[in-house]
Chains A and B, each alone.
Chain A
């Protein structure tokens, strides 16, 4: 078993470090966080250095890249302080469009992905349909050769910037919801689309919105893939998308750990560095164990995906574990920093606010128990 990164992976991570060092973004991120602004300057630097091309097929101008490498890059960016929910490598997000979309949809969406612009906001969650996705009530109704979308979506990341919505709707054909969902891709500037910003406690650099869809007129060609197969199409990609989210968890945990470790090694109290006290050492040791465990589980899952093995169970395990473990690591990092960690001057406070939602979004940690637990029992039967 070889745990060493390849030379190409090491050099790519060196390039990422150079981008982040040259940009010297720490104060800029603080300012963007304070002003609730998208960190466009950092995005531009990453786009220029080619990080949006990773995992996008060559025919669209990308560079074929395995999942493991994409995960390592996303993790490293967050470990270097890059803000969560603002990551610019959309290769896993656009997989649905690549697999099921028509040529025109692919060219538009992949073009935005390469520009570092989030191509679409996913219209999935609704006020009454969170973990219970079967309760989705947004409808796609055919009338006079057109399709009209009506309903409300919520927790839409970057709905203010994304040019498109990939919207999951009931088609009204089958009684079973899962066999009735269809995916439509339409521009966010279509008449009938209205957005409303949610006031949340963290991830200030990335706006999250409710989206109201009032008789949004679509062409039948705006359908992605097959009618009534939308749910299954979406599920195909959810497992891999989760890995990018998990990479952010590991990265944020490392970012907080690195800062707390440096602080513990120089902060003097009672005439000694606080890192000499065993209560602080215990925290650091447990934080490090969690980081190692998170990385191992995440890399192994990505490796399995790259080697054609099923990650149906693994993706739930790694989502649940990295969400919780990263939260614990960042919380302990704040504890080690003392009062300073609770101020906006210290970036651990941002990580503490921002990471919390990773235990909720893209499948709550409880739903991960549901998906993995059921599958484990089924395996044993």
Chain B
């Protein structure tokens, strides 16, 4: 089975600074692979190994996608090769734009399954996987806890609030994994060294048909104002304490 895992590189959350006006400052942030996408890569690598198939990676983004360390970080996790669409216009692409570019790139790749993460580690819209499936006209499942091949079909477990749906779908298809579906591997030195030798294909925006206009206008992205901890501790689950907790929460809204 040929599997494509999609990933996004994002500023490391612990390096993001919030300005006095609530604006996010990313200039001192290290860029890393989105933590939810590591799950997608791992799930793809495991399924490829189980089906004697191949796992490849796909990403769309700005110039930072060319960073050789980030490429090695991605390819040291079990996938065989990497495709990327790189353009400065993709740096601030929203979910629809990103999904459109990924869908166009996927038309150039032979695959049975596309695996996405639960959401991006920066905006966490949780839309890209669903949009990619819709744009390609393929079956698409989110909240996927596991996926395995059963004959010609895919057995997908969809984790809902109180139940697990088991779906049988015909490939090709698109799934988005839950954040705890699998534990991403820890790359060993031999994996890291091998990653530097794996093939990488770079496409320009033109080669995938450009980027569509976004139907959504982003006015600003700001961090919520932080509120100092009140430091109130209520000891013991008594009715009185519970009442005080509830009225305290109400009063602070």
Contact = CB atoms under 8 A, between A and B. Distances in A.
A181 B162 CA distance: 72
B189 A19 contact: no
Nearest to A11: B192
A362 to B, nearest CB: 26
Given A8-B193, A8-B196, A12-B192, A19 B69 contact: no
Contacts of A15: 186-188, 192
Nearest to A49: B186
Contact of A63 (B69, B76, B189): B189
B68 A49 contact: no
Interface in A41-78: 49-50, 53-54, 63, 65, 69
Contacts of A8: 72, 189, 192-193, 196
Contacts, number: 41
A235 to B, nearest CB: 29
A10 B69 contact: yes
Contact of A7 (B68, B186, B190): B68
Q: Which has the most chain B C-beta neighbours within 10 Å: A50, A53, A69?
A: A50
Interface string B180-214: 00000011111011001000000000000000000
Contacts of B193: 8, 63
B73 interface: yes
B73 A63 contact: no
Range for the number of chain A residues in contact with chain B: 10 to 19
B186 A63 contact: no
A18 interface: yes
B190 A11 contact: no
Contacts of A50: 188-190
Interface string A7-47: 11011101100110010000000000000000000000000
A203 to B, nearest CB: 27
Contacts of A49: 186, 188
B187 A63 contact: no
Nearest to A6: B69
B73 A11 contact: yes
Contacts of B196: 7-8
Contact of A19 (B68, B73, B186, B192): B186
A8 B76 CA distance: 10
Nearest to B69: A7
A49 B73 CA distance: 15
Contact of A53 (B68, B187, B189): B189
B74 to A, nearest CB: 11
A10 B72 CA distance: 11
Interface string B52-88: 0000000000000000110011001000000000000
B67 to A, nearest CB: 9
A11 B188 contact: no
Contacts of B186: 15, 18-19, 22, 49
Interface string B40-62: 00000000000000000000000
28 contacts: A7-B68, A7-B72, A7-B196, A8-B189, A10-B69, A11-B69, A11-B72, A11-B73, A11-B76, A11-B187, A11-B192, A12-B192, A14-B73, A15-B187, A15-B192, A19-B186, A22-B186, A49-B186, A50-B188, A50-B189, A53-B189, A53-B190, A54-B189, A63-B188, A63-B189, A63-B190, A63-B193, A69-B189
Given A7-B69, A22-B186, A63-B189, 4 more contacts: A12-B189, A14-B73, A53-B189, A63-B188
Interface of A: 7-8, 10-12, 14-15, 18-19, 22, 49-50, 53-54, 63, 65, 69
